[in-house]
Chains A and B, each alone.
Chain A
Amino acid sequence: MAVRSSVIRKADTTVKLHTFKYFFRDTARSIKRNSLMSIASVISVIAALVILGIFLVIALNIQQMTADMESQLELKVFLLEDISEEQKSDLETVLKADDRISEVRFESKEDALNKMSTNLEEYKGILQGLEQDNPLPESFILRVNDSERIKEVNDSVLELEGVDYVNYGEGYVDALMKFNDFTNMLSLAVLVILTGISVFIIYNTIKLTVHSRRKEISIMKYVGATNWYIRIPFIIEGAILGLSGSILAILVVRNLYYYLLGAVAGQSTLFMGISFAEPGQILPSIALYFILYGIVVGSAGSLFSITKFLDV
Chain B
Amino acid sequence: MIRFERVNKIYDKTKHLALSDVSLDICVGDFVFIVGKSGAGKSTMIKMILKELDPTEGRIFIEDVDITKLKKREIPFYRRKLGIVFQDYRLLTDKTVYENVAYAMEIIEKTHKDIKVKVPEVLNMVGLTHRMNYYPEQLSGGEQQRVSIARAIVNDPKIIICDEPTGNLDPRTSLGIMKLLKAINDRGTTIIMATHDRDIVDMMQARVITLHGGKVVSDKKGGYDCEATYI
Q: Tell me if A3 is interfacial: C-beta within 8 Å of chain B.
A: yes
B147: interface (CB < 8 Å)? no
| Residues of the B chain whose Cβ atoms lie less than 8 Å from the Cβ of A229 | 76, 107, 109
Closest-CB distance, B102 to chain A (whole angstroms): 9
Q: With A218-B90, A223-B108, A224-B108 in contact, do A4 and B65 touch (Cβ < 8 Å)?
A: yes
Given contacts A3-B65, A6-B63, A222-B79, A15 and B109 within 8 Å (CB-CB) = yes
CA distance A220 to B105 in the complex (A): 11
**How far is the CB of A306 from the nearest CB of chain B, in Å?**
16
Contact (Cβ within 8 A) B108 A18: no
Complex-state Cα separation, A229 to B106, whole angstroms: 10
Closest to B161 in A: A222
Query: For the complex, is A16 an interface residue (Cβ under 8 Å from B)?
Result: yes
**Do residues B65 and A7 form an inter-chain contact, with CB atoms below 8 A?**
yes
Interface size range of chain B in the complex: 20 to 34
- In the complex, chain B residues whose CB is within 8 Å of the CB of A226: 73, 76-77
Q: Which residue of B lies closest to A11 (CB)?
A: B73
- For B93, the closest partner residue in chain A by CB is A215
What per-residue 1/0 map shows which CB atoms of B74-102 lie under 8 Å from chain A? 10111111101000001010100000000
Interface residues in B190-209 (C-beta closer than 8 Å to A): none
Q: Determine if B74 and A225 form an interchain contact, defined as CB atoms under 8 angstroms apart.
A: no
A15 proximity list for chain B (CB < 8 A) = 109
Q: Does A263 sit within 8 A of B, measured CB to CB?
A: no
Q: Does B62 contact A (CB under 8 A)?
A: yes
Q: Which residues of A contact B94 (CB under 8 A)?
A: 29, 33
Question: Given A11-B73, A33-B94, does the pair A223, B79 have CB atoms closer than 8 Å?
Answer: yes
Q: Which residues of B contact A11 (CB under 8 A)?
A: 73-74, 77
Does A260 reach chain B (CB closer than 8 Å)? no
**Alpha-carbon gap, A167 to B168, bound state (A):** 94
Give Cα A224–Cα B111 distance, bound, in whole angstroms. Answer: 16
Q: Which of B64, B92, B109 contacts A16 (CB 8 A)?
A: B109
Q: How far is the CA of A226 from the CA of B80 in the complex (A)?
A: 10
Q: Is the CB of B107 within 8 A of A8?
A: no
Distance between Cα atoms of A229 and B77 in the complex (Å): 12
Beyond A3-B65, A4-B65, whether A221 also contacts B106 by CB under 8 A is no
Q: Which 4 A-B pairs have the closest CB atoms?
A: A224-B80, A224-B79, A225-B107, A226-B76
